[in-house]
Amino acid sequence: MKIFGNGERGCKKAPEAWFSGDAWMDAVVEPGGLSRLQALYVTYAPGARTAWHTHPVRQVLHVTSGTGWIQLEGEPAKRIRSGDVVVIEANENHWHGADATHTMVHLAMQESDETGKNVVWGRHVTAEEYIAAG
């Protein structure tokens, strides 16, 4: 057993290649040994969001605070709030992030496939796509 203190995990700014706006990622668990699980808290400033992306194995989001949006490609965006759990199936192209006036934090949980990949990043969500969500 190993206990990782809050300062040992390391919160870092989310990469601009994957996110629009200000967002931070705080790793809870990384794949290792026989486990392929990754879990991290993602904190979004108002208006911040991921790029479009898919996961080779499903992803589960647990919104821990705030309000935001999630959208599957080809469908209208849906509002998500503190306490909501969202299950995104494998290879569903989607994005998620905070709404324009609130922060949002979610715990993102996903597994790597047999090659070690747990996400495939696509293009950024345009301003028009984001505005249409709200």
In CATH, what number does 8-133 get?
Answer: 2.60.120.10
Here the tokens at position 8 are 């040992």
User: Which one is predicted more confidently, 102 or 30?
Assistant: 102
pLDDT digits (tens, 9 = 90+) for 10-56: 789 999 999 999 999 998 887 777 778 899 999 999 999 999 999 99
The whole-model pTM stands at 0.91
Q: What are phi and psi for residue 36, nearest 5 degrees?
A: -110, 10
Please give the torsion angle defined by the CA atoms of residues 46, 105, 110 and 112, in that order, rounded to the nearest 10 degrees: 60
pLDDT digits (tens, 9 = 90+) for 76-98: 999 999 999 999 999 999 999 99
Amino acid 29 reads: V
